[in-house]
Copies of this chain bind each other. A is one copy, B any other.
Amino acid sequence: MTEGMSLRERKKLQTRHRLLAAATELFAERGFDKVSVAEIAEAAEVSKMTVFNYFAGKEDLVLAPMEEHVGDVARTVRDRAPGESALAAVRGQYVAAVERREPSIGMSDLPVVLGVRRLIQETPALLTRAHAFSMRSFDLLAEVLVEEGEEPAIARVAGAQLIGTRNALIHANHLRLLAGESADAIAADAVALAERGFGLLAGGMGDFAVRR
C-alpha cells in the first residue's frame, strides 16, 4: 500500500490522517465552532501551524474529501461521447452516481458520512465553503463549454442551469438522508426526480408553475 513512497511521504500522509481523524472526532462531539484549531493540533500531536500547513483553513478539515469532486461534472462533459449533449452527459453522470450510491452526490447513509453532512448543514461557515466548491465546479464546466466553441456568455448561462439543477437534486437527497431515510429508499425516487428536473431543461419549463 505504501510501496514507492519515501518515509517522508508516508509520514506526511499519516499526520494528515491523524489531523482528519482528530478533527472529525472533536467536531462530532462538540460541533465545529466549539473546537479550536489549537485543540485539534494538540489532539493530533502537532503544532497549530502544522494544521494550516496541511489544510488551507479550518473548514477544509471537514470538506477536504468533497474538494476532490469539484471537477467531476466538467470532466464528464469534456469526455462525453460524440453526438451527446452536455445536458445528457450531466444527467447521465448523476444517475450513474445515484446507482453507485456515491457519497459525492449525497447517496451514502453510512453513519459517519451522515454525521459529517449534519455538521455541514448546521454550520454556516461550512455551508459557505461548500458552496464555494460548487462555484468552482461551475467555472470548470463553463470553461469546458467555452473551449468547445460556445459563446462564453451563453456557456455560463447553460453551465449555471446544469450545475444548479444538479445541486438541487443533491440537496434533495441530503434532506431525506438527514430525515432518516435509507440510501436505497431514496435512490429510486432520486432517479425519477432527476428525470423531471433535467426534463425541465430538456423539454422547457415554459409551462412550469403557471399561475392559476
Query: Which residues of A does B touch, CB under 8 Å?
Result: 77, 80-88, 128, 131-132, 135, 145, 148, 150, 153-161, 163-165, 167-169, 171-172, 193, 196-197, 200-212
The answer to whether B172 touches A87 (Cβ under 8 A) is no
Bound complex: CA A208 to CA B207 (Å) = 20
When all copies of this chain in the complex are counted, the total is: 2
Closest-by-CB residue of B relative to A132 is: B128
Pick the most buried of A150, A159, A165: most chain B CB atoms within 10 A of its CB. Answer: A165
Closest-by-CB residue of B relative to A127 is: B135
Contacts of A206 in B (CB 8 A): 85, 87-88, 201-203
A/B interface sample: 15 pairs, CB < 8 A = A77-B209, A82-B211, A83-B211, A84-B210, A85-B207, A87-B209, A131-B131, A145-B209, A153-B168, A155-B209, A156-B168, A157-B196, A158-B208, A201-B201, A201-B206
Question: 8 smallest A-B Cβ distances: which pairs?
Answer: A164-B164, A160-B164, A86-B209, A157-B197, A202-B206, A157-B168, A160-B168, A204-B204
Bound complex: CA A167 to CA B204 (Å) = 19
Bound complex: CA A210 to CA B201 (Å) = 14
For A171, give its contact among B128, B156, B196, B203 (CB under 8 Å): B156
Contacts of A210 in B (CB 8 A): 83-86
Contacts of A157 in B (CB 8 A): 165, 168-169, 172, 193, 196-197, 200
Contacts of A159 in B (CB 8 A): 168
